[in-house]
Amino acid sequence: MTQAADWTVVDEGWGRKAVDFATLSEPANCREYVAVHHLLGVGGGDRLLDVACGSGMALELARARGAVTAGIDASPRLVAIARDRNPAADVRTGDMHALPFDDASFDVVTSFRGVWGTTLPALKEIHRVLVIGRQYERWFHPVDLRAWDRMFA
């Protein structure tokens, strides 16, 4: 794990609009969440972590497929909504650059528009918490990703 960053600015922005995001914006992404879960084969017993989980809509949909879910977000106000929406999930406020989970804790890790900007430290943490040998999938703008593939080969 790396040292945690100060993510208060995230809560100042996203947290301020947490209810609006949960009720107006995030439901528009349901089809994407369902499609990605289907593509990844998320199913019964899979341990799934959603990084930058927001208000927890993707967690709710993964749980409906039988996954055991966990989420992390920098905004305490979004985490509160995610916990209400997913009472059985392990949803935490925290830093994607220092995930508070043991190595190889998850079969699947997702992040919908959450990992960007300071991507490399977050991707290293995601790689650390994934079960060794599990496939990872990535969706990026069509740029040269050979460096990414070499890093985790």
CB 6 within 8 A of CB 67: no
> 3-state DSSP call for residue 105?
coil
Per-domain residue ranges of the chain: 8-151
- In this model, does residue 66 exceed pLDDT 80? yes
pTM for the structure as a whole: 0.78
Task: Give the residue, 64 or 6, on which the prediction is more confident.
Answer: 64
Average model confidence (pLDDT) for the chain?
Answer: 80
Q: Give yes or no for a contact between 81 and 24, defined as CB atoms under 8 angstroms apart.
A: no
Question: pLDDT tier at 7 (50, 70, 90 boundaries)?
Answer: low
Which among 77, 66, 110, 58 is positioned nearest to 7, based on CA atoms? 77
The pLDDT value given to residue 119: 76
The pLDDT value given to residue 115: 76
Percent of the chain residues topping a pLDDT of 70: 67
Confidence of residue 80 (pLDDT cuts 50, 70, 90): very high
- The CATH code of domain 8-151 reads 3.40.50.150
What per-residue confidence (pLDDT) applies to 142? Answer: 46
Rounded CA-CA distance 109/55 in Å is: 17
